[in-house]
Amino acid sequence: MTVATVPQGARPKTFDKGRLLVYAVLLIASAFFLTPLWVMLMTSFKTMAEIRQGQILAWPQHFTVDAWFKAWSSACTGLTCDGIRVGFWNSIRILVPSVILSIALGGLTGYAMTFYRVRGANLLFAILLIGAFIPYQVFIYPMVRLFSIIGIYDSLTGIVVVHIVFGLSLMTLLFRNYFSSLPIELFNAARVDGAGFLTILRHVVLPMSAPIIIVATILQVTGIWNDFILGLTFAGRDNRPMTVLLNNIVNSQQGEAAYDVDMAATILTAIVPLAVYFASGRWFVRGVAAGAVKG
Amino acid sequence: MDKPKAMAGSRAYSLWRRQAPAAIALIPAAVMVVTIYLGAMLWTVRLSFSSSKMLPVFDLVGLQQYDRLFATERFVLSSWHIALFGVLFIAGSLAIGFLLAVFIDQKVRFEDAFRTIFLYPYSMSFIVTGLAWQWFLNPSLGLQKVVRDLGFANFTFDWLVQPDLVMFTLVIAAIWQASGLVMAILLAGLRGVDSELWKATQIEGIPTWRVYMSIVLPMLSPMLVTASVLLAVSVAKLYDLVVAMTKGGPGLSSEVPAKFIMDNFFERANVGLGSAAATMLLVTVVALVGPWIYVEHLRPRRNKA
């Protein structure tokens, strides 16, 4: 773990007390933010015998990666002991179609709302927007009934549809805001040239949409990967996402908790969004700012 | 930006033909909005006036479920818990997020590293956050033990198992996850502050902290409002963190409304009662964020230069 240290080397400016305070505060804050991650990592590399001694901050005396293998391939959820990998692959299977389809639909909806004047579109947008703020609990029970009736409850299709439905708010908002900032002249020129709805979308709007598609992908990948309540309710026994499996592994154990395995499984579950976060850098911040309705 | 203005009535037909593909493209969104965003929501409200137990029935029993709801200790406790959590979590995240943004804004070295460290928890699932803090605050092996082993034998930090204090552990974990978000939002605002302001106040000899509190903070108020709304929404949705970290315990001492609703729907076969609680949640959220949504996104804007 690398913590940023106090700057070394020549700094022409005076190094007064104020600057010292600034760095002291930032370093203490960094410690606060990093400690839980540090503790998780250390715990996952220790043996249970060492964990029982309770030095959660200390470096492992006997460094081992056994817990990681156990967490991945043999940790138990209920009666089955196939590890968290089952959840990992389930999450991937949920993630890929959900991300692609929700972005496609959000982009299409945002495009139609921005450049065309369809009656009722503003009302549609208003409801979508308000919907983004309303807790899932308000919709969830009737959705379960509805999905049972049409036969997609407890299935991969069901959970993907749910992610598309609830992703629609944020995606439409993102694309609509982005498209509104594009120069309308390009759109008008294409239309004067006789280009139709799809032609303009494909040849004028889409080529300019790379930044917003990246932002949308970051938001949806992290958001859908981190989802718990929807996966728990709609995915069914065979498709439970990684977060649901993780919670089962940790919170429904019998006997002494295997903290080493628990923490390895926890980090494994966090790896995908963390990788997206570290790889995307400022894009993530941009996404957070742009999709300011995410909650 | 101005959108293309619709032509006057006489060309309505040709206009309609031109708009038809867009109207078709909006059908999937419209179907979802009508069936789920409106349909499912109204269905829930409707069920809250019925006597539904395990399966939905469509009788009308007036406000019976609501009477029951407010007589249910677990729901009343949940409401108090979420109010306490909401106030502390929002205030704490705003305060810490603001301080972090201000300190990062002092032209420090390793700015990117600090920013990355403060925001990374926000990228993770509440389940991960909950499990991490559950372990970190474990009274027998966690932080309490570490401090005791350092020689402070009487040190106690066992909030996780203290009914009166367990909500505070949720607050700490949630602030840990969300204050980086506030920092990111406010930092963007700080970067927009005119450098002339700093020159002017320096000449006047006004202390930096004064400038931040009296001039910069009011300038950031739109961003503070945005951040507050985001935080408030996550308060209403608070469920995963509780499930992972405390399971609502010890006893009922960290139960929250979102969990009450889920349990009544799917475990306690109390669909009517759960629907009444969900409706209360809906009303609260709409009352809290409705005005903001209107002002921020829906109010017609006049010539934005």
> Which amino acid makes up residue B131?
L
Interatomic CA distance for residues A206 and A179, integer angstroms: 10
Mean pLDDT of B80-102: 95
| Phi/psi of residue A294, nearest 5 degrees | -65, 135
Interatomic CA distance for residues A13 and A70, integer angstroms: 53
User: Is B25 part of a structural domain of the chain?
Assistant: yes
- For residue B29, the model assigns a pLDDT of 93
Q: Are residues B255 and B143 in the same domain?
A: yes
Mean pLDDT of B206-229: 87
| Phi/psi of residue A77, nearest 5 degrees | -120, 110
Q: Are residues B81 and B9 in the same domain?
A: no
pLDDT in tens, A95-111: 999 999 999 999 999 99
Q: Are residues B253 and B141 in the same domain?
A: yes
Q: What is the pTM assigned to this prediction?
A: 0.89
Q: Are residues B41 and B69 in the same domain?
A: no
C-beta separation of B176 from B207 below 8 A: no
pLDDT in tens, A70-91: 999 888 887 788 889 999 999 9
User: Looking at the predicted structure, is the pLDDT value of residue A265 above 50?
Assistant: yes
Paired tokens of A185: 């002249």
pLDDT band at A212 (very low <50, low <70, confident <90, very high): very high
User: Looking at the predicted structure, is the pLDDT value of residue A63 above 60?
Assistant: yes
| Phi/psi of residue A80, nearest 5 degrees | -95, 145
User: Is B52 part of a structural domain of the chain?
Assistant: no
Task: Please answer yes or no on whether B285 and A134 come within 8 Å at the CB atom.
Answer: yes
Mean pLDDT of B227-236: 89
Paired tokens of A81: 């002991």
User: What is the average pLDDT value for chain A, to the nearest integer?
Assistant: 87
Q: Give the count of Cβ contacts less than 8 A between chain A and B.
A: 292
Neighbours of B46 (CB within 10 A): 16
Of A118-127, A168-177, B223-232, B287-296, the poorest mean pLDDT is in B287-296
Minimal CA separation from B168 to chain A, in Å:
16
- For residue A112, the model assigns a pLDDT of 93
User: What is the average pLDDT value for chain B, to the nearest integer?
Assistant: 88
What percent of chain B is predicted at pLDDT more than 90? Answer: 51
Q: What is the DSSP track for chain A?
A: --PPPPP-S--SS---HHHHHHHHHHHHHHHHHHHHHHHHHHHHTS-HHHHTTT-TTSPPSS---HHHHHHHHT--BTTB---THHHHHHHHHHHHHHHHHHHHHHHHHHHHHHHS--TTHHHHHHHHHHHTTS-THHHHHHHHHHHHHHT-TTSHHHHHHHHHHHHHHHHHHHHHHHHHTS-HHHHHHHHHTT--HHHHIIIIIGGG-HHHHHHHHHHHHHHHHH--HHHHHHS-GGG--HHHHHHHHHHT--SS--HHHHHHHHHHHHHHHHHHHHHHTHHHHHHHHHTTT--
Paired tokens of B232: 């408030």
Q: Which residue does chain B place closest to A164, by CA atoms?
A: B32
Nearest to A36 among B136, B146, B286 (CB): B136
User: Is B240 part of a structural domain of the chain?
Assistant: yes
Q: Are residues B32 and B142 in the same domain?
A: no
C-beta separation of B108 from A22 below 8 A: yes
User: Is B54 part of a structural domain of the chain?
Assistant: no
pLDDT band at A117 (very low <50, low <70, confident <90, very high): confident
Q: Pick the residue with more confidence: B145 or A124?
A: A124
Minimal CA separation from A195 to chain B, in Å:
11
What percent of chain A is predicted at pLDDT more than 70? Answer: 92
- For residue A15, the model assigns a pLDDT of 60
Interatomic CA distance for residues A84 and A59, integer angstroms: 25
- For residue B261, the model assigns a pLDDT of 96
Give the contacts of A149 (CB within 8 A, at least 6 positions apart). Answer: none
**Chain mean position to CA A92:** 12
Q: Pick the residue with more confidence: B106 or A93?
A: A93
Interatomic CA distance for residues B279 and B287, integer angstroms: 12
Q: What is the CATH classification number for the domain harbouring B99? A: 1.10.3720.10
- For residue A290, the model assigns a pLDDT of 67
Give the contacts of A118 (CB within 8 A, at least 6 positions apart). Answer: A112, B19, B22, B23, B26
Domains in chain A: boundaries: 1-64, 85-290
Range of the domain at B231: 64-298
pLDDT band at A295 (very low <50, low <70, confident <90, very high): very low
> Which amino acid makes up residue B241?
L
| Phi/psi of residue A116, nearest 5 degrees | -125, 155
pLDDT band at B303 (very low <50, low <70, confident <90, very high): very low
> Which amino acid makes up residue B303?
N
Asked if residue B21 has a cis previous peptide bond (ω within 30° of 0), the answer is no
- For residue A14, the model assigns a pLDDT of 55
User: Looking at the predicted structure, is the pLDDT value of residue B300 above 80?
Assistant: no
Interatomic CA distance for residues A46 and A43, integer angstroms: 5
Query: Which residues on chain A are in Cβ contact (under 8 Å) with B275?
Result: 141
Interatomic CA distance for residues A150 and B63, integer angstroms: 31
Q: Are residues B157 and B239 in the same domain?
A: yes
Nearest to A29 among B3, B118, B277 (CB): B118
Q: Pick the residue with more confidence: A194 or A112?
A: A112
Mean pLDDT of B31-38: 93
pLDDT band at A12 (very low <50, low <70, confident <90, very high): very low
- For residue A96, the model assigns a pLDDT of 97
What percent of chain B is predicted at pLDDT more than 70? Answer: 92
Q: Are residues B35 and B70 in the same domain?
A: no
Provide the CATH number for the domain formed by A85-290 in this structure: 1.10.3720.10
Query: Which residues on chain B are in Cβ contact (under 8 Å) with A196?
Result: 21
Q: Which residue does chain B place closest to A34, by CA atoms?
A: B117
Closest CA to A140 of B47, B125, B59, B180: B47
Nearest to B185 among A168, A289, A293 (CB): A289
- For residue A292, the model assigns a pLDDT of 55
Interatomic CA distance for residues A132 and A218, integer angstroms: 18
**Chain mean position to CA A277:** 9
Of A210-214, A229-233, B33-37, B202-206, the poorest mean pLDDT is in B202-206
- Number of folded domains in chain B? 2
User: Is B182 part of a structural domain of the chain?
Assistant: yes
- For residue B302, the model assigns a pLDDT of 55
User: Looking at the predicted structure, is the pLDDT value of residue B11 above 70?
Assistant: no
C-beta separation of A160 from A239 below 8 A: no
Task: Please answer yes or no on whether A276 and B123 come within 8 Å at the CB atom.
Answer: yes
User: Is B39 part of a structural domain of the chain?
Assistant: yes
pLDDT in tens, B125-135: 999 999 999 99
Closest CA to B228 of A292, A288, A32: A292
| Phi/psi of residue A180, nearest 5 degrees | -65, -25
User: Looking at the predicted structure, is the pLDDT value of residue B90 above 60?
Assistant: yes
- For residue A157, the model assigns a pLDDT of 94
- For residue A1, the model assigns a pLDDT of 40
- For residue A76, the model assigns a pLDDT of 83
Mean pLDDT of A225-241: 93
